[in-house]
Amino acid sequence: MEVQKTALYNIHKNLGAKFVPFAGYEMPIQYKDGIVKEHISTRTYAGFFDVSHMGQFFLEGDETLTEALEKIIPADLKSLKINHSKYSFLLNNDGGIIDDLIVTKTEKGFCIILNAACKENDIKQISKFLKNNHKHLLSNDLSLIALQGPKSVEILEKLIPGVSNLKFMTGNNFNYDNENLYVTRSGYTGEDGFEISISDKKVEKLINFLISNEVKPIGLGARDTLRLEAGLCLYGHDLNEKINPIEANLKWAIAKKRKDVGGFNGWEKIKNLLTNGSEKIRVGIKPEGKVIARENTKIFSLDDNEIGLVTSGTFGPSVNAPVAMGYVKSNFAKIGTLIKLEVRGKKYGGKVSGLPFYKKSYVK
């Protein structure tokens, strides 16, 4: 299968990007400044991310569309207001996570942002529940740009007046260069920021404006360190079809009403786990010293029993220390519990930590 490129491929190249194959796309992992500087730029000023490889999936229909989607997504979509977004999941019959996603209510239906590696399978799963009168389209002419960091609002307001009125997880249509674009106040870094859905024809102009305002390009490397400091999951690493939202410590993302009434895939199992607890749970982990416990690092109790596995681990530039997430047996999940981490055949100390490692700054 041919590797795909986003509409900004040549701009990334000109900015000195180092590319890697990711979810079928050639994507920038870092630029000339390197991952740490890109990370700090996002936390202290602003950075832009090309996330156009993700799926922008539009659905249209009446209330039967909402009912269909609620069979596979455990959010309260009936109560979701137009231009409001929710973080949620697609669930399989066992309550396992097929994908985690952002659902936005639009005037005609919904827009769902799908993870790049999952989008084809997601659409196949969703389509099983759709009726003939439900229209759906995976966009192939829209780019998606994330602008993240404390200066994001000041910079974007100059170009698109009115975006400063948006609150976290809300969006709206705006006019830009005689064309409609859609902006949501959201992101995946722990910073205030926006995601901008814009036509491929106009995206270069937007990026040139951001660069002229000293916004740095940010690659997948810093995107990973930023989201991990913010305690946010990465599908395929921290989440997969064998993990359910309760184990993933994401029960807050299942609407209270849906927890009580159910009616979605895997509800019986999830209801049981909500009542009785799960055997394992996702936790934050702070390794001692400078040891980095990467994905698949085994976690042990102090008396050397294996109790879990790291799913994401890196050095957190903003906290100036190694950070990790993983799954441990529930009786070891209490914050402050001392553990051991096996790195390159040797065991090092660590402890279970609360999440996030870095305080989030969203505009509610």
The model's pLDDT over 81-118, given as tens digits with 9 standing for 90+, comes to 999 999 999 999 999 999 999 999 999 999 999 999 99
Mean local confidence (pLDDT), 311-334: 98
d(CA 115, CA 111): 13
In DSSP notation, 178-207 reads TEEEEEES--SSSS-EEEEEEETTTHHHHH
Nearest to 331 by CA among 283, 293, 262: 283
Tell me which DSSP letter residue 349 carries.
E
CATH 2.40.30.110 range(s) for the chain read 279-364
114: which strand partners? 55
Q: Which pLDDT score is estimated for 120?
A: 96
100: which strand partners? 89
Is residue 126 within a helix (H) or strand (E), and if so which, with residue range? helix 119-127
On the question of a cis peptide bond just before residue 287, with omega within 30 degrees of 0, the verdict is no
Confidence of residue 215 (pLDDT cuts 50, 70, 90): very high
Q: Which pLDDT score is estimated for 269?
A: 96
Residue 304's CB: how many other CB atoms inside 10 A? 10
Contact (CB, 8 A) for 20 and 65: no
Mean local confidence (pLDDT), 136-155: 98
SS3 of residue 292 by DSSP: coil
When the candidates are 3.40.50.300, 1.10.1040.10, 2.40.30.110, 3.40.50.2300, the CATH number that belongs to 279-364 is 2.40.30.110
Q: Which pLDDT score is estimated for 363?
A: 73
Confidence check: pLDDT of 261 > 90: yes
Contact (CB, 8 A) for 233 and 90: no
Confidence check: pLDDT of 124 > 90: yes
d(CA 295, CA 277): 25
d(CA 265, CA 351): 35
Confidence check: pLDDT of 19 > 90: yes
Mean local confidence (pLDDT), 188-215: 97
Confidence check: pLDDT of 359 > 90: no
Confidence check: pLDDT of 360 > 90: no
Mean local confidence (pLDDT), 269-283: 97
Q: Which pLDDT score is estimated for 17?
A: 98
CATH 3.30.1360.120 range(s) for the chain read 9-51+140-229
Confidence check: pLDDT of 173 > 90: yes
Task: State the average pLDDT for the chain.
Answer: 97
Confidence check: pLDDT of 361 > 70: no
Confidence check: pLDDT of 362 > 90: no
9-51+140-229 classified as CATH 3.30.1360.120:
yes
Confidence check: pLDDT of 33 > 80: yes
SS3 of residue 60 by DSSP: strand
d(CA 166, CA 152): 12
Joined tokens for residue 233: 């999951």
Sequence-ordered list of residues with C-beta below 8 angstroms from that of 330, at least 6 positions apart, any chain = 277, 278, 279, 280, 281
Q: What is the pLDDT of residues 38-70, one digit of tens each?
A: 999 999 999 999 999 999 999 999 999 999 999
Nearest to 326 by CA among 339, 312, 337, 338: 312
